[in-house]
Each structure stands twice: as C-alpha cells, then as structure tokens.
Amino acid sequence: MDRALTSSSRPEVIDIIVVAYRNDIFLLELQARSISLYFPQERIGNIYICVNDEDHYCTDINLDWWGENKTKVKIIARSNFGSDPSLDGWRSQQLYKLLLANQAKSNWSLCLDSKTCFVQKLNWNTLFDQSGRVNFKHLPTINAFLSAQYFIEEYFQISCPQVLGPGGVPFMFHTTTVNSMVSEIPDFFNFFCQNVKSPNELTEFMLYTGFVLYKYGNFDELYTDNQYYSIFNLADFQVKDFDKTWSWTTQPNLLTASVQERAYPHLSNKQFDIWVDFLQNKNLLTKDDTIVQKLNTLR
C-alpha cells in the first residue's frame, strides 16, 4: 500500500485555491480581508485564483485586496486549462478546483469558494494533527450524490459510502495525491467533463475521496476523522428556515461563513441586515462599505 505522508510533522505552509465567476469577483475582496485578519500569514504559500469566465475578466481582480499577501496571488484564466462549453458553471468550477490543486506547490491546498470568508483565527494545531494529517470528518454520502458514489465504486472497484471534508469548503487537497489522480486517470480532463454530467453526476470531492481510498486503502493516511472547526453556508433552500439555520453561526468553533448567491433574492431586508451585521462584527465590513451595496445587487 502506498504511503501518503513522508514526514511526521505538520506542514509549514499551504496554498489557497479559489474559482471565481465574473459576477462574484467583488467577493474576493471580502475574502482577502478575512484571510488577512484570520489566516496566519506565515502559513500561506501561494493563492491561486481561477476566473471561470472569459479571460478579460481577470483584469477585474485587484491584487491590492490581499495587502501583504498580494505577491502570493496568481491569477489564472480558465483558458490555461481548457474549457468544455457543454458544462455549466457549477460543473466546470469543480474541474478547475481539481486542476488548481494539481498545480499547487505546497503539500496541501485549501479550497475555497469566492464567497467563503474566514470568521475566526485559524489555529494550525487544530487543522493538522502532529503527524501532518488533516482533522477532517468522513461524512455519509447524501442522496443527491449517490449516483456519483456508485460510479466511483465501480470505477475504482472500492466501497466508498462516505465523503471527506466538512460538508463543502474549505476543503483540503493533498497535492501529491491529486497529482497521482490526474496522471493515473486516462485523459483526466475529458474523463471529468464527461462524468460530471448525468447520469454519473460526479463531483470533485467525491472523486478525490474515492481516489484516496483506491490509492491508500483508507482515509487514515491523510485524514483523522477528528474535526474541530465547523462551517456555515446559507443555501437558497435554507432561507425559509433562516432563524434555525442562522443559529449555526453562534458556534464557538465556526471557521468560515458564506451565503450562496442564489440565496440573496430570498432574503428579507431584516435577514440581509443580519448577514451584513455579522460581517461587520467580524471586522470584514464597515457600515458604509461599497461591498454592502454590491451584495445588495445580488438580491
């Protein structure tokens, strides 16, 4: 069986990878502020941003948003990877997450959506254990992704009833493992473009999870199943239960928070103000911040 970790200590740095669309590029400024406030600066290797749109939208990104980290930011047009016009944005962004992780220079990369903001200081010792494994849970596959599970199980000839991660982003990719996955799956680009669509509905995290099991025989080589941090993402279907869902933000171990773009049109004025107040309390916004006006346009 292959060994995943060649050292017995926590990594010194990790890369950050993000896929953005033209309509949410402005959210990167908010995210950059959160990284400056809550992510240990000395732990950042590179910050890779792939713009999942026409190349000229790359110029809408202002490196100054990242302050002292701006020299670490690498803006990558999707044309560098190639594109498949048959894929919608949700499916194509999954491909670009994997291709960004494949070119990471550090041992690990942390994957974010452009809407994801850190809301408390990241403690390196709670993200990794002493041997360098990531403290992530193994979650049961939800019904929406069962077709992906069945495809992966057949393709790799494994049993894979769980998926790695906190239930979305931030997600931690092990670089060497992603490199192996991309090189060992024949014609990886077309493989993913074909199978991310119906009927297999493959996802980036489920494919990676399946490959980890296929390559190492278990998750324990890379992940501990002991997760300290929680995350919050408000989806459109959750707005109807806003008060119940919002209570999740009061958890003391909440690391990141976000609101799906599709959720904004469903937010009442009061709910929108609650979200903005939350970001202000985390020192990510000021009361008259232009980003508030831009968030309002999503409604």
Closest CA to 150 of 228, 108, 210, 233: 210
Mean pLDDT of the chain: 95
Helix (H, G, I), strand (E, B) or coil at 90: helix
Residues sharing a CB contact under 8 Å with residue 16, sequence separation 6 or more, in sequence order: 35, 39, 44, 46, 47, 48, 109, 110, 112
Q: Can you give the pLDDT at residue 9?
A: 80
Dump pLDDT digits (tens) for 111-158: 999 999 999 999 999 999 999 999 999 999 989 899 999 999 999 999
Mean pLDDT value across residues 165-173: 93
Give how far the C-alpha of residue 2 lies from the chain's centroid of Cα atoms, to the nearest Å: 26
3-35 pLDDT tens trace: 666 555 889 999 999 999 999 999 999 999 999
The model's pLDDT over 205-242, given as tens digits with 9 standing for 90+, comes to: 999 999 999 999 999 999 999 999 999 999 999 999 99
Single out the residue of 231, 42, 226 nearest to residue 118, CA to CA.
231
Which H or E run includes 177? helix 175-184
φ/ψ of 203, rounded to 5, equals -125, 160
Q: Is the pLDDT of residue 2 over 90?
A: no
Q: Determine the pLDDT at residue 1.
A: 53
Flag whether the pTM goes above 0.85: yes
pLDDT of residue 155: 98
Q: What pLDDT was estimated at residue 8?
A: 59
Q: Domains in the chain and their CATH numbers?
A: 14-228 (3.90.550), 229-299 (no CATH)
Residue range 282-287: mean pLDDT, rounded: 92
Residue 165 in contact with residue 136, Cβ under 8 Å? yes
As a whole number of Å, the CA-based R_g of the chain is 19
**Which of helix, strand or coil describes residue 63?**
helix
DSSP per-residue string spanning 264-294: GGG--HHHHHHHHHHHHHTTS--TT-HHHHH
Residue-wise pLDDT for 259-280, tens only, equals 999 999 999 999 999 999 999 9
Residues in Cβ contact with 164 at an 8 Å cutoff, skipping those fewer than 6 apart: 136, 137, 138, 139, 171, 205, 208, 209, 212, 219, 223
- Percent of the chain having pLDDT more than 70? 97
